[in-house]
């Protein structure tokens, strides 16, 4: 059952305000998120959307809801056909290939698989049936094998976007057609053209328009009445506006409780998109930056706001993720002597009851309290990352250091609280999707490998330079030792002197002068 003690608020685009979330069926949530049009590798703008809704999916689970999450693939579309013709490939084969590439990207980004991942090509019966119902209800008309939705017949058209009918234009994927009764009428079914894939229908061979697919598939998996419909805010109009129109026209009882939209990823303050050619694919980004760093970057701004892409911010995110995992590793190392045998991370020997540690307990309570407060107030992952988590990690760092230095009697007051704090931090990271099925040391090594790749260095070269610097310092050649340190910093490699040992870690070269 859902946790009724938690008041969870979501911003609803339909009402233009944050609202307390109440599911239609107690303890259960139906969520539909518009998926990608698969004709190429997906870009960071796509990653933003699906990381946002993965966090929402995870948090709803955390609150105790049973969630049915549907995210579709548009595998029949003008752009797919155009790309397939250019490549001399079957359109469905091409889209199928890019569906798999997208799924690989989602696994890399730690996005949980949805409950259902329907493809348009597998749901033609549902699409044709819905179009038939819309025509029978008087909201659409066939013209020469095409079928158009009549926006003038639906007085509520524009309720989501707030646009007046006279201000609306045809959808971005819809060409102007003089056969339309109104310029804003949009295609439900497109008559087949030579050389294009097609399916039979009562109106002749053809394929569905862009908008009808989501109305048909969401109704098929979730009914006409469900809880959350999500997507990027560029979909508010025309896509989601037209979805609402179609669903209402097909079924008068159609109702989505919460319309949730995420902000764009921008590049130099311009929306990142394939059509503008200013995009970076997920794949090319995660070849240079750890997927956890990209995910961290995408969550570092509130989901409703745009996030501006920059190499420096990715470097910051990489550095932050390294700090998280180095802190967890240091905590594990500090607790290791107190563990029974070879137990899992976080399993500390129970032994005698530990002495009270009010500061540690307050840190744990604050982490729980603030995490829930920020996440339940419209998913403020940015505040969790920049404030809540950092405070807990700072306390963990200090406690790990103290545990190593204190006498045995004094250590008892730190062992259990530190173990409990580590488990709470892991829980937070899991809900944020920042806890892969890897050891701390494996994540740290991956982050270091990425940093070496960006610096175009081998670790052996870094270690050799560290040795050079050590010799220079012994010889009081501080100019040489400083140059080695500064040259490595400029390449994103920070040196740290810990006692008699020098270690290195990734850093943002733009912020380490």
> Which residue matches tokens 């490699």?
493
DSSP 510: G
pLDDT at 327 over 70: yes
Please state which of the ranges 257-271, 320-334, 387-401, 481-495 shows the lowest mean pLDDT: 257-271
- Mean pLDDT, residues 5-11: 91
Which is more confidently placed, 500 or 452?
Answer: 452
Strand runs labelled E in 286-385: 307-308
CA atoms within 13 A on the CB side of 236: 20
The pair of structure tokens assigned to 466 is 């560290």
Tell me the range of 4-18, 230-244, 406-420 where mean pLDDT is highest.
230-244
pLDDT at 178 over 90: no
Using DSSP's 3-state secondary structure scheme, residue 450 falls into helix
Q: Are 503 and 448 in contact (CB under 8 A)?
A: no
Residue with tokens 């469905």: 92
Residue corresponding to tokens 């066939």: 142
Average pLDDT of the residues in 90-112: 98
DSSP state of 313: H
* Paired tokens of 279: 């995009």
Cβ–Cβ < 8 Å for 223, 215: no
Secondary element (H or E) of residue 260? strand 255-262
pLDDT confidence of residue 350 = 46
357: pLDDT strictly greater than 90: no
Q: How many CB atoms lie within 10 A of CB 64?
A: 12
Give 148-158 pLDDT, tens digit per residue.
999 999 999 99
Joined tokens for residue 414: 């730190």
The domains of the chain are located at 9-287, 311-440, 456-511
Kind and range of the H or E element at 270?
A: strand 270-271
For residue 278, how many other CB atoms are within 10 A of its CB? Answer: 15
Four-way CATH pick for 9-287: 3.40.50.150, 3.40.50.140, 3.40.50.620, 3.30.70.580: 3.40.50.620
pLDDT at 457: 97
Give the per-residue pLDDT at 308: 92
**62-71, 164-173, 198-207, 313-322: which has the minimum mean pLDDT?**
164-173
Which is it for strands 186-191 and 146-149: parallel, antiparallel or unpaired? antiparallel
In the sheet where 66-71 sits, what is the strand order? 66-71, 28-33, 225-232, 255-262
Confidence of residue 512 (pLDDT cuts 50, 70, 90): low
The continuous run of DSSP H or E covering 146 comes out as: strand 146-149
Instruction: Tell me the mean pLDDT in the region 449-460.
Output: 97
C-alpha closest to that of 289 among 267, 307, 316, 269 = 316
CATH classification code of 311-440: 1.10.730
Q: Residue range 488-510: average pLDDT?
A: 94
Residue 128's alpha-carbon distances to 25, 215, 251, 252, 282, in angstroms, are: 29, 12, 15, 18, 34
Task: For residue 176, name the pLDDT band (cuts at 50, 70, 90).
Answer: low
The confidence score (pLDDT) of residue 343 equals 40
Cβ neighbours around 428 below 10 Å, total: 20
Q: Is the pLDDT of residue 170 over 50?
A: no
Residue 137, Cβ density class (10 Å: 0-12 exposed, 13-18 middle, ≥19 buried): middle
Give Cα separations from 480 to 84, 424, 470, 483 (angstroms): 58, 44, 10, 5
Query: Of 88-102, 218-232, 254-268, 339-353, which gets the smallest average pLDDT?
Result: 339-353
Domains 9-287 and 311-440 share a fold: no
Take residue 108 and report the two structure tokens written for it.
């890399």
When pLDDT is cut at 50, 70 and 90, the band that residue 344 belongs to is: very low
Is the pLDDT score of 4 beyond 80? no
**Around 365, how many Cα atoms within 13 Å sit in the side-chain half-sphere?**
6
Contact 210, 240 (CB under 8 A): no
In angstroms, the CA 319 to CA 359 distance is 28
Question: How many whole angstroms separate alpha carbon 402 and alpha carbon 382?
Answer: 30
pLDDT tens digit sequence for 371-415: 999 999 999 999 999 999 999 999 999 999 988 876 665 677 889
State residue 172's pLDDT score. Answer: 46
Question: Three-state SS for 256?
Answer: strand
Q: What pLDDT, on a 0 to 100 scale, did the predictor assign at position 2?
A: 52
Which residues have a Cβ under 8 Å from the Cβ of 336 and sit 6 or more positions away? Answer: none
| Residue 24 confidence (pLDDT) | 98
Would you say residue 177 has pLDDT above 90? no
Place of tokens 């570092």: 300
Asked whether residue 88 carries a pLDDT value surpassing 60, the answer given is yes
């Amino acid at each position: 059952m859902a946790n009724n003690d938690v008041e969870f608020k979501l911003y609803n685009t339909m009402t233009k305000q944050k609202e307390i979330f109440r599911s239609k069926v107690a303890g259960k949530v139906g969520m539909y998120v518009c998926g990608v049009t698969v004709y190429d590798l997906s870009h960071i703008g796509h990653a933003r959307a699906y990381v946002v809704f993965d966090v929402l999916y995870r948090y709803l689970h955390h609150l105790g809801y049973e969630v049915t999450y549907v995210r579709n693939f548009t595998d029949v579309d003008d752009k797919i056909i155009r790309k397939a013709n250019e490549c001399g490939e079957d359109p469905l084969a091409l889209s199928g290939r890019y569906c798999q590439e997208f799924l690989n990207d989602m696994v890399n980004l730690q996005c949980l698989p949805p409950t259902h991942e329907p493809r348009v090509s597998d749901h033609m019966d549902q699409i044709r049936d819905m179009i038939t119902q819309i025509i029978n209800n008087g909201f659409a008309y066939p013209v020469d094998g095409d079928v158009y939705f009549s926006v003038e017949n639906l007085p509520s058209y524009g309720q989501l976007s707030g646009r007046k009918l006279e201000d609306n234009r045809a959808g971005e994927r819809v060409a102007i057609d003089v056969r339309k009764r109104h310029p804003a009428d949009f295609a439900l079914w497109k008559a087949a053209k030579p050389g294009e894939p097609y399916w039979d229908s009562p109106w002749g061979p053809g394929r569905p328009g862009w908008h009808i697919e989501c109305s048909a598939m969401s109704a098929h998996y979730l009914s006409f009445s469900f809880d959350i419909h999500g997507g990027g805010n560029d979909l508010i109009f025309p896509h989601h506006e037209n979805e609402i129109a179609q669903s209402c026209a097909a079924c008068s009882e159609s109702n989505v409780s919460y319309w949730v939209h995420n902000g764009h990823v921008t590049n130099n303050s311009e929306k990142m998109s394939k059509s503008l050619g200013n995009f970076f694919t997920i794949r090319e980004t995660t070849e240079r930056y750890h997927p956890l760093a990209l995910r961290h970057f995408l969550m570092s701004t509130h989901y409703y706001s745009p996030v501006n892409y920059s190499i420096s911010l990715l470097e910051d995110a990489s550095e932050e993720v390294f700090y998280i995992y180095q802190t967890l590793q240091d905590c594990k190392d500090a607790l290791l002597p107190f563990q029974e045998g070879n137990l899992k991370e976080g399993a500390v020997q129970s032994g005698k009851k530990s002495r009270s540690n009010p500061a540690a307990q307050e840190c744990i309570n604050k982490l729980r309290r603030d995490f829930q407060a920020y996440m339940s107030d419209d998913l403020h992952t940015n505040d969790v990352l920049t404030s809540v988590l950092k405070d807990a990690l700072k306390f963990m760092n200090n406690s790990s250091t103290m545990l190593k230095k204190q006498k045995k009697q004094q250590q008892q007051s730190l062992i259990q609280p530190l173990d409990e704090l580590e488990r709470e931090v892991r829980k937070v990271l899991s809900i944020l999707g920042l806890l892969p099925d890897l050891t701390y040391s494996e994540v740290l090594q991956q982050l270091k490998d990425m940093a070496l790749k960006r610096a175009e260095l081998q670790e052996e070269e870094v270690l050799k330079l560290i040795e050079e610097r050590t010799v220079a310092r012994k010889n009081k050649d501080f100019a040489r030792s400083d140059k080695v340190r500064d040259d490595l910093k400029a390449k994103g490699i920070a040196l740290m002197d810990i006692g008699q040992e020098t270690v290195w870690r990734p850093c943002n070269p733009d912020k380490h002068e």
